[in-house]
């Protein structure tokens, strides 16, 4: 059941991970445009400071940039300390940071697979464990987890990435049920392929997913995510085509779904390349 917006909505402080580019950057602007003070978290301090300056200038809200590598567990104690010293009570947590890797599972080093899990899954768990108990104690708060339509289906060629998003989706829905009546809501944002630097950074520009898919505008994804978390929705899939795709999977075998996704990660010229694909905002 969707919760009603309240008089505190535009003063609720927001912490956004992966906030220096992609969907995370647009989420930061969307929250700030509605008057929310924003804490921006990303690994590159220089990029983060530039984003913070842009948001202050565009929206006139309080902005706190925190440079942190969320693959390191020590980063979360730092986030806790920095926000506490600043007198910030985090009212909305947007777990958005993540990355992926193109390649056959057996040919990719284990360290790379574990890196994906640390950022896509463990970082979200640690951040939520840091801030959720206080939300529950205060009987109000919101969590927005960036999942993906990849979480609805297996993805040969990006197997661990898809699995990580399936975890985030399932976990978000379970938390939403656990927290019913607590004043705290959890929302899973499940975009499809989105026009961010995910593809060029991963050398995926020749893939079917980039060349043939109808890429969404990250600003539109951020709008959908903002509206959904403020309304207390459990799952939001932005875009009619993505909604139709998720629905159609109900009528396909898992084998067919796997084969379809395998093709999406192949290059249009038939070549199979293995590259690292990092993103500031996960997408399908």
Name the residues annotated as catalytic: 161, 165
Secondary element (H or E) of residue 98 = strand 98-102
Residue 115 contacts residue 249 (beta carbons within 8 Å) = no
Give the phi and the psi of residue 186 in degrees, each rounded to 5. -130, 130
The CA R_g of the chain, rounded to the nearest whole Å, is 18
Q: How far is CA 281 from CA 7, 107, 173, 277, in A?
A: 29, 25, 20, 12
- Residues 6 or more apart in contact with residue 183 via CB below 8 angstroms: 135, 136, 138, 139, 140, 141
Residue 189 contacts residue 147 (beta carbons within 8 Å) = yes
Q: How far is CA 191 from CA 143, 237, 243, 250, 282, in A?
A: 17, 6, 9, 18, 8
């Amino acid at each position: 059941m969707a919760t009603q917006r309240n008089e505190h909505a535009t003063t609720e402080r927001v912490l956004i991970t992966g906030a220096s580019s992609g969907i995370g950057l647009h989420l930061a602007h969307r929250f700030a445009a509605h008057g929310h003070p924003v804490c921006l978290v990303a690994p590159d301090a220089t990029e983060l400071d530039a984003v913070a300056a842009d948001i202050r200038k565009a929206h006139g809200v309080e902005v706190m940039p925190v440079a942190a590598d969320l693959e390191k567990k020590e980063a979360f104690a730092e986030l806790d300390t920095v926000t506490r010293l600043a007198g910030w009570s985090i009212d909305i947590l947007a777990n958005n940071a993540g990355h992926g890797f193109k390649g056959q599972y057996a040919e990719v080093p284990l360290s790379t697979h574990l890196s994906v899990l640390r950022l896509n899954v463990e970082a979200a768990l640690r951040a939520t464990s840091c801030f959720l108990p206080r939300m529950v104690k205060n009987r109000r708060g919101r969590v927005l987890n960036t999942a993906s339509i990849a979480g609805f289906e297996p993805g040969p060629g990006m197997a661990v990435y898809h699995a990580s998003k399936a975890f985030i989706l399932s976990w978000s829905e379970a938390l939403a049920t656990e927290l019913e009546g607590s004043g705290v809501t959890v929302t899973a944002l499940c975009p499809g392929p989105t026009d961010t630097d995910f593809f060029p950074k991963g050398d995926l520009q020749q893939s079917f997913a980039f060349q043939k898919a109808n890429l969404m505008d990250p600003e539109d994804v951020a709008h959908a995510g903002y509206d959904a978390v403020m309304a207390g929705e459990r799952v939001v899939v932005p875009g009619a085509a993505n909604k139709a795709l998720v629905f159609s999977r109900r009528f396909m075998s898992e084998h067919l779904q796997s084969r379809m996704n395998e093709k999406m990660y192949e290059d249009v010229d038939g070549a199979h390349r293995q590259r690292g694909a990092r993103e500031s905002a996960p997408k399908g």
